[in-house]
Amino acid sequence: MHPGFIFATGIENSNPVIDGGRTRMDELEKCGHYRHWQLDFDLVQELGLRVLRYGPPLHRTLLGPGRFDWEFADLTFRDLQRRNIAPIVDLCHFGLPDWMGNFQNPDFPELFAGYAAAFARRYPWVQMYTPINEMWICAVFSTLYGWWNEQLRSDAAFVTAIKHLAKANILAMQAILEVRPDALFIQSESTEYFHADSPDAIGPAELNNARRFLALDLNYGRRVDSDMYEYLLDNGMKREEYHFFLQHNLKHHCIMGNDYYQTNEHYVGADGLTRAAGEIFGYAVITHQYYNRYRLPVMHTETNLCQGPLGDEAVQWLKKEWANVLRVRNNGVPLIGFTWYSLTDQVDWDSALRTNNGNVNALGLFDLDRKIRPVGAAYRELVRAWEAVLPTKSICLQVPVVMPHEFGGEVTSIDPESPVSGAIQG
């Protein structure tokens, strides 16, 4: 059993398409993980971490209905199990395989649930999942901003995407629970806030502040307010589709993972347009808003800041976010984990993956040469200082995580009748 508070990092497997579907923004490729995956796992252990947000590349693994290529997943997950690193498995991160199209596809939820079931059967020792990462961000960037995937800009496209994403997430949880009844689901969602820039902007800001909750409201079966209900129906959701979410509530298996960056707060103008506001409320205030709405255990599942010209900007942000985590926890919120995201620098997130420029963003605990950054050293020391303290602060506030070596007592091998390479039938 994991001893208590979860310290984690992540290896990002974002893969949206841009340019009308012609360009795949594969962060695992851009950051060199396909070549350096063993070294990357070494770095996780060097930091003293035992939990990793991680997942296989969906577009390379799910080849068609019931058709999979497990070669890379078998290599990496077998090694994670050997190292006794518990993954929080990220099955869908902003993109779909070309053959599936985009998030307007009504077949996506059932197809994705089949993939989740196949993954859970192949790796039964895996307990923790983020079936779909940041459903709200995925829908907004793909259908309101027009940046990724569908590259649409309409409320109708947004409602279609958000209902398909939330339904796929729920069906995937159901499928995984059939294999692993003690599975834990950590919904990594961006926690946002929209500030009115003027009195005339109050209405547009209120719309955005209501809409920011839609992915989690649907996922957790929470009734939306009357304005949002009319918004959903006006933009294509049917009554029976809405009632599906009310009737399929799996929140008792869930931890509300929330992500916070300096870009999560926005100014809204009277015309409804938004611009970055920077940190105004901060993580603690916004986390209380979400916790008061859902009343679930919380894990801080993403944050980072670029290492700037002074070299200590990311370190100072780490200290600030950690102080916010302690404040939220001391205020009585059951906050059970913290994540610096990601392990290595990222590529092209300065344009939100909208342009394929190859710009390296100094956001990682390590650079792309796998050399530790100052924030990596600071995080390693933070983990060492606090990992033995926080469990004793609350013996009851611990997640029932079963570490890989505790599943069956030893490292298991892949079924020899199920090939590790090539396209195989599920």
CATH of the domain at 198: 3.20.20.80
Compute the mean pLDDT over every residue in the chain, rounded to the nearest whole number.
Answer: 94
User: Sign (positive/negative) of CA torsion 271, 274, 277, 280?
Assistant: positive
Strands 128-132 and 189-190: unpaired
* Residue 334 covered by a domain: yes
- pLDDT, tens only, 143-159: 999 999 999 999 999 99
* Residue 121 covered by a domain: yes
111 pLDDT higher than 70: yes
417 pLDDT higher than 50: no
* Residue 1 covered by a domain: no
Q: What is the average pLDDT across 2-10?
A: 87
User: In degrees, to the nearest 5, what angle opens at C-alpha 14 toward C-alphas 422 and 259?
Assistant: 140
Report the alpha-carbon distance of residue 128 to residue 122 in Å, rounded: 14
- pLDDT, tens only, 207-263: 999 999 999 999 999 999 999 999 999 999 999 999 999 999 999 999 999 999 999
- pLDDT of res. 421: 40
* Residue 53 covered by a domain: yes
- pLDDT of res. 240: 98
317 pLDDT higher than 50: yes
Q: What is the average pLDDT across 251-278?
A: 96
Give how many domains the chain has, as a whole number: 1
- pLDDT of res. 422: 43
- pLDDT, tens only, 28-58: 999 999 999 999 999 999 999 999 999 999 9
Q: How confident is the model at residue 4 (pLDDT cuts 50, 70, 90)?
A: confident
- pLDDT, tens only, 322-335: 999 999 999 999 99
- pLDDT of res. 215: 98
Domain of residue 411, residue span = 6-425
- pLDDT of res. 416: 38
Report the alpha-carbon distance of residue 189 to residue 184 in Å, rounded: 16
Pseudo-torsion of CA 373, 56, 188, 47, nearest 10°?
-30
Answer yes or no: are the C-beta atoms of 404 and 125 closer than 8 Å.
Answer: yes
Q: What is the average pLDDT across 309-321?
A: 97
